[in-house]
C-alpha cells in the first residue's frame, strides 16, 4: 500500500492532523494501539484563561479562535453534537481576589471571556461567600465520542491499524519510508505521553503529568455551569459532574489511586455541601514539555519523520492549531513559531 502519510498515535493530536490530511485530500494510514477510551481527552474543556492568575494561557486566544470552527466542522461532518458551551464560575476566595478579577477582566483579550461584575448568587449546596467570577465563551468538547466516531470512519475506509508501531520495522530511505507493507513519504508521530519510547524523538524533554478525575452524581444539584475552586466541577448533564484534576509527576501508571481520590474529595467538600456518589474514575497522562509549549517539527536528521506533541493541559484548543502549523510546515515549508519548534531543543540531540 502506498500513502502520502502515516500517522502514529490517535489522540487529539493525531485526530487533528488526520483531519488536516482529509481536508487536503491526502492519503494516509493511522496506527494506534489504545483500546481504552477512558484514558483519552479526559476533561475535554476549552478554556483559554488561567484561573489561578486570571491571565490568558500562551497563544490560547488565537488557538481558541481556530479550535471552535474546527470542531464545528466536525459536527457537520459527523452530524453529531460535540461542542457543549457552558459558563465557568470561579469561586473567589477574598476581597483581594474580587478586585483582581475586576482589574483583569478589563484587559484586552480577557474582555472576550471574563464578565467584570462579581456574581453573588445563592446556589443551594455551594459555598461561595465572596461570590463568583464568571467566564463565558468556554465549554467542553465531547472528545472521546469524537475520537470514537472518527476512528470508526477511518476503520471502515481501511485507514486504521490497531497495533503498537514497531520502530525497528521502519526503513528510512532518502525519498521514502517503508513500514511493513506500507510505503509513504512522510510519517508523523503524535504519541502523547509515550514520546519517551520513540527512539527518534525521545531526546525531547517531556515531563509527563498523571491526572486523575472523579465522575460524581449529585442528585440535588442541577447547575449547567462549571465551578472552579481548587478543583473543577464540570457539568456532564443529568446531575453528573467530572471533578478534577490531580497532578502527579512521578507515577506514570494508568491505575486509580486512593490518594488522588482523597485529595479530590477533600477539595470538593470545601465548596460542595450536598451528598454525592462517586460513580467512575478517569485517568490520563498529560504530555507536558519543560517550557510548557507544544512540540512540533521535523527530525533533525530524518526530515520525513515529524513529531506533533506537547499538548499539555489544554489539548482541546492546542491540537487543531498545531496540526495546521505542522501540515503547512511539511507541505509548504511554512516556518513554525520558534517557541513551538523542536529546533529549540536541538542541543539535546546527540
Ligand X SMILES: Cc1cc2nc3c(=O)[nH]c(=O)nc-3n(C[C@H](O)[C@H](O)[C@H](O)COP(=O)(O)OP(=O)(O)OC[C@H]3O[C@@H](n4cnc5c(N)ncnc54)[C@H](O)[C@@H]3O)c2cc1C
Residue ranges that bind ligand X, judged by CB under 6 A:
8-14, 31-34, 40-45, 164-165, 190-194, 211, 213, 244-245, 284-287, 309, 311-316
Of residues 118 and 240, the one with the C-beta less far from ligand X? 240
In the block, which residue shows the cell 481548587?
A: 230
DSSP-derived 3-state class of residue 228: strand
28-32 vs 160-162, strand pairing mode: parallel
Closest approach of ligand X to the CB of residue 146, in Å? 12
Backbone angles phi, psi at 291, to 5 degrees: -95, 10
Question: Whose Cβ is closer to ligand X: residue 128's or residue 283's?
Answer: 283
Nearest-approach distance from CB 108 to ligand X, in angstroms: 23
3-state helix/strand/coil string of 76-127 = HHHCCCCEEEEEEEEECCCHHHHHHHHHHCCCCHHHHCEEEEEECCCCCCEC
Name the residue nearer to ligand X (CB basis): 175 or 250. 250
**Distance between CA atoms of 256 and 285, rounded to whole angstroms?**
12
With b for 16 or more beta-carbon neighbours within 10 A and e for fewer, the 186-195 pattern comes to bbbbbbbbbb
State the nearest-atom distance from the C-beta of 120 to ligand X, in Å: 27
Least distance between ligand X and beta carbon 175 (Å): 24
CB of 49 to ligand X, least distance (A): 12
* Residue among 149, 185, 131, 187 nearest 71 (CA): 149
Torsion sign (Cα): 44, 49, 52, 57: positive
Minimum CB distance to ligand X smaller for 103 or for 178: 178
Q: Which is nearer to ligand X, 213 or 216 (CB)?
A: 213
Amino acid at each position: 500500500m502506498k500513502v502520502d502519510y502515516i500517522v502514529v498515535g490517535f489522540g487529539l493530536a493525531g485526530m487533528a492532523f488526520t483531519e488536516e490530511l482529509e481536508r487536503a485530500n491526502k492519503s494516509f494510514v493511522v496506527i494506534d494501539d489504545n483500546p481504552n477510551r477512558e484514558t483519552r481527552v479526559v476533561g475535554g474543556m476549552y478554556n483559554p484563561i488561567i484561573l489561578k492568575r486570571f491571565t490568558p494561557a500562551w497563544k490560547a486566544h488565537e488557538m481558541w479562535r481556530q479550535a471552535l470552527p474546527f470542531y464545528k466542522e466536525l459536527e457537520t461532518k459527523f452530524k453529531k453534537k460535540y461542542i457543549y458551551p457552558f459558563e465557568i464560575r470561579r469561586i473567589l476566595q477574598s476581597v483581594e481576589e474580587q478586585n483582581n478579577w475586576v482589574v483583569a477582566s478589563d484587559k484586552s483579550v480577557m474582555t472576550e471571556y471574563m464578565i467584570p461584575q462579581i456574581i453573588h448568587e445563592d446556589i443551594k449546596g455551594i459555598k461561595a461567600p465572596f461570590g463568583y467570577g464568571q467566564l463565558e465563551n468556554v465549554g467542553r468538547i465531547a472528545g472521546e465520542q469524537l475520537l470514537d466516531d472518527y476512528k470508526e470512519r477511518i476503520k471502515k475506509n481501511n485507514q486504521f491499524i490497531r497495533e503498537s508501531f514497531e520502530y525497528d520495522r521502519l526503513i528510512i530511505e532518502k525519498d521514502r519510508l517503508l513500514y511493513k507493507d506500507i510505503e509513504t513519504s512522510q510519517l508523523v508521530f503524535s504519541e502523547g505521553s509515550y514520546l519517551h519510547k520513540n527512539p527518534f524523538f525521545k531526546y525531547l524533554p517531556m515531563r509527563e503529568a498523571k491526572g486523575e478525575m472523579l465522575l460524581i452524581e449529585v442528585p440535588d444539584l442541577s447547575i449547567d455551569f462549571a465551578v472552579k475552586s481548587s478543583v473543577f466541577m464540570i457539568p456532564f448533564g443529568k446531575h453528573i459532574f467530572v471533578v478534577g484534576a490531580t497532578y502527579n509527576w512521578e507515577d506514570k501508571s494508568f491505575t486509580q489511586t486512593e490518594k488522588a481520590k482523597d485529595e479530590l474529595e477533600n477539595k470538593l467538600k470545601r465548596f460542595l455541601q450536598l451528598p454525592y456518589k462517586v460513580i467512575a474514575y478517569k485517568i490520563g497522562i498529560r504530555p507536558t514539555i519543560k517550557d510548557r509549549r507544544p512540540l512540533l517539527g521535523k527530525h533533525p536528521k530524518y526530515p520525513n519523520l515529524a513529531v506533533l506533541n506537547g499538548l499539555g493541559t489544554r489539548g482541546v484548543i492546542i491540537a487543531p492549531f498545531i496540526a495546521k502549523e505542522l501540515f503547512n510546515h511539511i507541505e509548504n515549508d511554512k516556518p513554525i513559531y520558534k517557541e513551538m519548534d523542536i529546533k529549540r531543543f536541538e542541543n539535546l540531540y546527540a
